[in-house]
Structure 1
Amino acid sequence: MNKTIQTDKAPFAIGPYSQAIVAGDFLYISGQLPINSVTGEFAGKDITTQTKQCLLNIKAICEAAKITLNHIVKVNIFLQDLNHFMDMNVVYGELFGDHKPARAAVQVARIPKDALIEIEAIAYLK
């Protein structure tokens, strides 16, 4: 049976989906936009601020599931502009530290609410 993970420390889903779902030994975290859960607004207009907020939202969801970022095994990053890759990568490295999950980063035509970035993740719970 699947379990829904929900926290008010990350933005609520803007559609018919969950912040995250536990399925078996895995936590599937929906794509996180750079929305501050307190203000409901983007954390900033630049890629570094938006990347950090996406990852802080993922961290909050992990904490609600009683795990840490170190449990994440796969990350998918969707960028509005692949030219932002290097700046995104610096912030990503700061938040993940020595933990290096498998990852993909791609440029997409458009992200909801015209964000510069969206990040989704999969965590192993054991």
Structure 2
Amino acid sequence: MVSSGSPLEPQIGFSRAVRAGTYVAVAGTAPIGDDGCTVGPGDVYAQTTRCLDIAVRALQEAGASVGDVVRTRVMLTDVTQWKEAARAHGERFAAVRPACTFVEVSRFIEPDWLVEVEVDAVIAQEPS
């Protein structure tokens, strides 16, 4: 299990990421800065970039890399802004090209959050 240090983890009963064998699941990741405040209020691109930074750090802590990512889910409060989220996603995953889904949700826990990202990875086995 990988923890982000969020005080909500023990309260809710979740981990930032969990590794089971070669599979790594990164939970819905919000655009929260190191200071606990929302990064980039009103800016989907900045928020998506922050979500991806947090998710990639969790992957690395679990022993995975961006190249191991097989699926992403990008949840937006306004799907018409998908191109800004897609730009940030493409900067990170253009060479990997995981399966990806964009969906619209009504809202998140914090009203300033415009996006959350989930990431699934399968760690590549070393050739024998």
How many Å apart are 1:7 and its aligned residue?
A: 4.6
Q: CA RMSD in A?
A: 1.4
Residues 96 and 13 of structure 1, relative CA distance in 2, 3 Å threshold: farther
| Aligned partner of residue 113 in structure 1, secondary structure | coil
How many Å apart are 1:24 and its aligned residue?
A: 2.8
Which of residues 46, 55, 80 in structure 2 aligns to 1:58?
A: 55
Q: Are 2:82 and 1:85 aligned?
A: yes
Amino acid at match of 2:36: G
**Equivalent residues in 2 for 1:1-126 (5 A)?**
4-7=1-4, 12=6, 14=8, 15-36=12-33, 38-45=34-41, 46-114=43-111, 115-126=113-124
Mapped partners of 1:13, 1:52: distance in 2: 23
Mapped partners of 2:7, 2:47: distance in 1: 17
Identical positions, percent? 25
State how many pairs are aligned: 119
Unaligned 5+ residue runs, structure 1?
none
TM-score, with length taken from structure 1: 0.87
How many Å apart are 1:13 and its aligned residue?
A: 6.2
Question: Which structure has the larger Rg?
Answer: 2
Mapped partners of 2:7, 2:71: distance in 1: 21
Residues 108 and 51 of structure 1, relative CA distance in 2, 3 Å threshold: same
8 Å contact from structure 1 (residues 7, 60) kept in 2: no
Mapped partners of 2:3, 2:67: distance in 1: 19
Unaligned 5+ residue runs, structure 2?
none
Amino acid at match of 1:121: V
Mapped partners of 2:59, 2:18: distance in 1: 11
8 Å contact from structure 2 (residues 29, 117) kept in 1: yes
How many Å apart are 1:68 and its aligned residue?
A: 1.2
